[in-house]
Amino acid sequence: MIKELIIVTGATATGKTDLGVALSQQLASDVISCDSQLVYTGLDIGTAKPTLEEMQGIPHFGMDLVAPDITFSAAMYENAVLPLIVERLERQQPVIMVGGTGFYLRQLFEARPLVDVPPNPSFRAEMTAWANNASTQAGDFPLHERLKTLDALRASQLYPEDDRRVLRALEIIEATGEPVPQEKRPSVVETALGYEPKTVWLGLTHGDKVHRYQRIEARIDAMLDAGWLDEVQHLADAYGETAHALQVAHGYPELLAVLKGTLTLEEAKTQITINVRQYARRQKVWFNRHSYMQWLDIGGQNGSLLPLEDKLAWALERIAL
């Protein structure tokens, strides 16, 4: 039976965009992006935002939603794309979602704890201020670490970067004095549709670490050759160096430091490469938690990559199961 909802996800630099376009061409559909960096206008080169040539005439949604100086949340993403999902499924058109932002996918498709605790803005502000001032090593997530000490089970269910859900869990614990209840209510997609759609999760991975790292490094070099540093300068001039997207999107803070003279370009490239490697590893770990994921290793022999037609055949087979 053909699946209604097709999610193409996995780690960075694995060819999700190409497979999403190929599937859309085969299934007469379009693509809904699920990438927390593609939502920003102007962040094109450094986010590997699909070009018109790469989109091959397939409409793409969920991109270029806000300016770089806007703080974009998972809830805002839900508001932007949930109507698109419902509209397509109601007219019996397959929904193809492409991207590796796990907490956006959780926002839409994960069942939620069933609790009746009202929001507490002052507590959230207090926790946010504490987290901002916490002395932690790079890569740590203070709010998530705090939740681990209070409710390890709920912490294990949340993406460390998903501050909104982590704060909500802490808020519930503060109000009740108990761990977050495990009873669930349906996901927002299931609630909006009135039923649970038939879904297939397709994950692309690259098991060979050496070749995976080479692929990431080559991608960063190509972005710099395409004018990434100039893009950062333009965005800083237009929106200010403190624009939210320039502080959180991969590579942009490091290139800002190059423009300010506090990092050399080589130092920035090294740091960006390390950060992207770590992010790709966290993506794989997060998605590996889910038994419904179906994985395809895109690596071939001697560093070659699996041809797109082979990836497409694999995906279509699983969509039809």
Q: Which residue has the tokens 């794309």?
A: 81
Whether 22 contacts 312, CB under 8 Å: yes
Q: CA–CA separation, 272 vs 217, rounded Å?
A: 9
Kindly report the pTM of this predicted structure: 0.84
Topology classification of domain 5-110+187-320: Rossmann fold (3.40.50)
Burial letters 63-89, b for 16+ CB under 10 A, else e: bbbebbebebebeebbebbbeebbebb
Cα 270 to Cα 174: distance, rounded to the nearest angstrom: 41
Alpha helices in 60-208 (DSSP H): 74-90, 102-109, 121-133, 142-150, 152-156, 163-176, 188-193
Instruction: Work out the number of other CB atoms within 10 angstroms of the CB of residue 105.
Output: 22
Task: Tell whether the model's pLDDT for residue 258 goes beyond 80.
Answer: yes
**pLDDT at site 305:** 85
The reported pLDDT for the residue numbered 286 is 76
How far apart are the C-alpha atoms of 44 and 41, rounded to whole Å? 8
Q: How many CB atoms lie within 10 A of CB 174?
A: 15
Give the whole-angstrom CA distance, residue 170 versus residue 145.
11
pLDDT at 272 over 80: yes
Taking each helix axis from N to C terminus, what angle separates 74-90 and 163-176, rounded to the nearest 10 degrees?
Answer: 110
200 touches 5 (CB < 8 A): yes
Range name among 67-81, 177-191, 218-232, 289-303 with the lowest pLDDT average: 289-303
Q: What is the largest CA-CA distance in the chain?
A: 57
Token output for 164: 């909104």
pLDDT at 133: 84
Query: What class has domain 113-185?
Result: mainly alpha
pLDDT digits (tens, 9 = 90+) for 84-100: 999 999 999 999 999 98
| Contact criterion met (CB below 8 Å) for 11 and 211 | no
In the predicted structure, residue 137 carries a pLDDT above the cut 90? no
pLDDT at 138 over 90: no
* Domain definitions of the chain by residue range: 5-110+187-320, 113-185
